[in-house]
């Protein structure tokens, strides 16, 4: 009971405070596929399925976890970072040490963002992380949310919903596939509702294997969802490319922001 109340409190605080709201200007509905932690199967199985459908995804990597055996399976190696980019996917930040977005002190969380960026530049000079996803709890503390937003064009959270009308760039909502693994109809409904609402639907998962961890999904489910997404008259793009569509079409920067946005700062 206490845990549930705590979880709700965190989700509310994370969603409501320190927002960076923009009005969505995309001409077409959007879907993005994202993988947290970048286990090898996300590229070898998930990435292959995306490529077979002619689309690409976003891989959120914690460079401090490279080559490790984790609950989501073996994490990728340096060679896979290069491979993922050469296949047209996006690499995003997930902090260097895979820090819990709520339980980590904001200062340590920010240090881990900077460390991940430095590690990326040393491994692949000239590369940057444009977007990030909040690790573990996916609910940042207000200070963490505000500081993190300054480092990236947008930050992905959870929330099990799509983004419609306006989007908080410091807390972009996503839908974890594994939470509806026994009810794919719910996922397909959301794809359709997103199309009708001209929204931005981001799918998240981790490993893609026949025997997935509790954070991953099977190739079958992943293939079904990708195939529905591609066939739904929707643009399927990595997060940073989809964001450009969301921001596109605005001739005047002021038009992008909802009333709650205060120029030069963050709304609360």
Which residues bind to Zn ion, rule: CB under 5 A?
36-37, 135
CB-nearer residue toward Zn ion: 73 or 135? 135
Distance of closest approach, residue 133 Cβ to Zn ion, in angstroms: 7
CB-nearer residue toward Zn ion: 158 or 238? 158
What letter does residue 231 receive in the DSSP assignment?
T
Distance of closest approach, residue 180 Cβ to Zn ion, in angstroms: 19
CB-nearer residue toward Zn ion: 215 or 222? 215
Cα torsion 38, 96, 31, 141: sign: positive
CB-nearer residue toward Zn ion: 134 or 261? 134
Residue 32 pairs in a beta bridge with: 202
Say how far apart CA 167 and CA 264 lie, in whole Å.
18
CB-nearer residue toward Zn ion: 131 or 194? 131
Contact predicate 174/159, CB 8 Å? yes
Distance of closest approach, residue 58 Cβ to Zn ion, in angstroms: 13
Helix (H) or strand (E) holding 59: strand 58-61
Say how far apart CA 245 and CA 137 lie, in whole Å.
28
Distance of closest approach, residue 134 Cβ to Zn ion, in angstroms: 9
CB-nearer residue toward Zn ion: 117 or 137? 137
Contact predicate 128/119, CB 8 Å? no
Distance of closest approach, residue 54 Cβ to Zn ion, in angstroms: 27
CB-nearer residue toward Zn ion: 37 or 207? 37
**Rounded to 10 degrees, what is the CA torsion of 97, 103, 106, 108?**
-30
Distance of closest approach, residue 237 Cβ to Zn ion, in angstroms: 22
Cα torsion 229, 233, 237, 242: sign: negative
Say how far apart CA 138 and CA 7 lie, in whole Å.
11
Distance of closest approach, residue 135 Cβ to Zn ion, in angstroms: 4
């Amino acid at each position: 009971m206490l845990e549930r109340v705590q979880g709700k409190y965190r989700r509310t605080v994370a969603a409501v405070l320190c927002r960076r709201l923009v009005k969505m200007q995309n001409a077409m509905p959007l879907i993005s596929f994202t993988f947290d932690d970048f286990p090898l199967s996300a590229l070898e199985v998930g990435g292959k399925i995306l490529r077979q459908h002619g689309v690409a995804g976003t891989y959120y990597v914690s460079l401090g976890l490279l080559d490790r055996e984790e609950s989501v399976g073996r994490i990728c190696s340096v060679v896979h970072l290069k491979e993922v980019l050469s296949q047209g996917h996006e690499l995003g930040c997930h902090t260097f040490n895979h820090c819990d977005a709520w339980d980590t002190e904001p200062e340590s969380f920010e240090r881990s963002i900077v460390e991940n960026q430095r590690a990326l530049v040393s491994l692949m000079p000239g590369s940057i992380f444009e977007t990030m996803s909040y690790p573990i709890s996916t609910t940042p503390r207000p200070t963490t949310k505000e500081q993190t937003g300054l480092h990236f064009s947008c930050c992905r959270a959870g929330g099990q919903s799509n983004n419609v009308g306006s989007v908080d760039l410091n807390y972009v909502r996503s839908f974890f596939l594994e939470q509806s693994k026994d009810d794919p109809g719910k996922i397909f409904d959301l794809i359709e509702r997103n199309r009708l609402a001209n929204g931005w639907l981001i799918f998240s998962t981790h490993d893609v294997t026949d025997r997935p961890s509790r954070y991953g999904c099977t190739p079958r489910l992943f293939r079904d969802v990708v195939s529905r997404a591609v066939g739904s008259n929707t643009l399927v793009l990595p997060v940073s490319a989809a964001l450009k569509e969301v921001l596109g079409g605005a001739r005047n920067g002021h038009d992008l922001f909802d009333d709650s946005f205060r120029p030069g700062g963050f709304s609360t």
